[in-house]
Amino acid sequence: MQITIGIKHSQRELTLETTETIEAVRAKVDEATAAETPLVLSDDKDRQLIVDPESIAYIELDPAKEQRRVGIGLA
């Protein structure tokens, strides 16, 4: 699943690929905003993204979007 996070007062977005479900990500977002603690998400390569919940403008969760692959496959 691809997650895109818009940041207030910034033209750039944060994007990451994760194997977590939509429900798991929504629970993390709800918990971070309710407790006013940083939102911590992990991507497919176990890298962590830590975002201040007050700076989040929006979060887009797209389970169908697959990352484009570039390159030549040799069999």
| Whether residue 46 has pLDDT greater than 90 | no
Share of the chain above pLDDT 90, in %: 68
pLDDT at 58: 94
Q: Compute the CA torsion angle 18, 56, 11, 15 (nearest 10 deg).
A: 0
- Examine the pLDDT at 26 and tell me if it is beyond 70: yes
Look at residue 65 in the predicted model and tell me its pLDDT: 57
- Cα-to-chain-centroid distance, residue 55: 14
Domains of the chain, residue spans: 2-62
More confident residue, 75 or 27: 27
Q: How confident is the model at residue 55 (pLDDT cuts 50, 70, 90)?
A: very high
Give the separation between CA 5 and CA 1, rounded to whole angstroms: 13
Q: Which residues of 42-59 are buried (b: 16+ CB within 10 A; e: fewer)?
A: eeeeeeebebebeebeeb
